[in-house]
């Protein structure tokens, strides 16, 4: 069964600190992996999309890594800001139709002043 | 420019009633998707439209759920004889091309449905 597991479930960090969120998946065949940011009461917003051949991608203070061999991805947030407080969702596509998009449950990040 | 919009933002209905949820995608986007997000759960795919046709409706949980898209634009998700387990946030997304690959999906703010 295709699964995406994210850790930690929730995280509190001080403003200005860095943090790393983890995503492990058992999705096959693999097409691409996406990280989304979802503010409370809003729809998810894409941060990065990575295909099999990419092992790192940055978007401002967000850097995602992908290890397709171990089926792991991480999202690193540098110099956190209060506005980074949100749920971060890892999504993996198995590449055979949209019913095979598998979503993680998300990591809830709270950046504290 | 205008993003994906959904209406209503909140809907409270009694068990057994029918509800209609609306999605206005980004103008020109070919593909449209419906998802459901239950409390504490990940997003669950419901249905995908390419133009006005739905090549993948495998995520619809029961025959009480249906969706249509007209004019390659607006879509409505209809839930008949609502049940309490239908309570969730229903999210709509659109993308420029659809199909496989890395087509970016843009999400609306969602409709929070509460069935009492």
Give the residue-averaged pLDDT of A6-27.
96
Closest CA to B23 of B65, B74, B87: B74
DSSP E strand boundaries for chain B: 5-7, 10-13, 19-24, 31-37, 43-50, 53-56, 65-69, 75-79, 88-95, 106-107, 111-115
pLDDT band at B55 (very low <50, low <70, confident <90, very high): confident
Are B9 and B108 in contact by the 8 Å Cβ rule? The answer is no
A31/B91 Cβ within 8 A: no
Do A98 and B45 count as a contact with CB atoms less than 8 A apart? yes
| A49 burial via Cβ count (<10 Å: 0-12, 13-18, 19+) | buried
Q: Per residue in A28-70, pLDDT tens?
A: 888 899 999 999 989 999 999 998 889 999 999 999 999 999 9
- The model's pLDDT over B65-96, given as tens digits with 9 standing for 90+, comes to 999 999 989 999 999 999 999 999 999 999 99
Q: What percent of chain A has pLDDT over 70?
A: 95
Give B12-25 pLDDT, tens digit per residue.
999 999 999 999 99
Which of A2-6, A18-22, B56-60 has the weakest average pLDDT?
Answer: B56-60
- CB nearest B109 (choices: A42, A97, A99): A42
Q: Which runs of consecutive H residues, i.e. helices, occur in chain B?
A: none
Taking the CA of residue A37 and the nearest CA in chain B, the distance in Å comes to: 11
Closest CA of chain B from A44, distance in Å:
6
Query: How far does the CA of residue A112 sit from the closest CA of chain B (Å)?
Result: 22
């Amino acid at each position: 069964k295709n699964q995406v597991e994210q850790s930690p479930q929730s995280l509190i960090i001080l403003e200005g600190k860095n943090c790393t969120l983890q995503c492990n998946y058992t999705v096959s065949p693999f097409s691409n992996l996406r990280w989304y940011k979802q503010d409370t009461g809003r729809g998810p917003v894409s941060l990065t999309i990575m295909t099999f051949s990419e092992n790192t991608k940055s978007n401002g203070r967000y850097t995602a890594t992908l290890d397709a061999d171990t089926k792991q991805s991480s999202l690193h947030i540098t110099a956190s800001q209060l506005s980074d407080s949100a749920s971060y969702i890892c999504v993996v596509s198995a590449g055979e139709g949209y019913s095979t998009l598998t979503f993680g449950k998300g990591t809830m990040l709270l950046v504290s002043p | 420019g205008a993003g994906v919009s959904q209406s209503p933002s909140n809907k409270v209905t009694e068990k057994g009633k029918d509800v209609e949820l609306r999605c206005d995608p980004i103008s020109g986007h070919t593909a449209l998707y419906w998802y459901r997000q239950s409390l504490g759960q990940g997003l669950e795919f419901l249905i995908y439209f390419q133009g006005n046709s739905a090549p993948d409706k495998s995520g619809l949980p029961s025959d009480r759920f249906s969706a249509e898209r007209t004019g390659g634009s607006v879509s409505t998700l209809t839930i008949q004889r609502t049940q309490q387990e239908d309570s969730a946030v229903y999210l709509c997304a659109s993308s420029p091309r659809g199909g496989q690959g890395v087509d970016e999906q843009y999400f609306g703010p969602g409709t929070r449905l509460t069935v009492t």
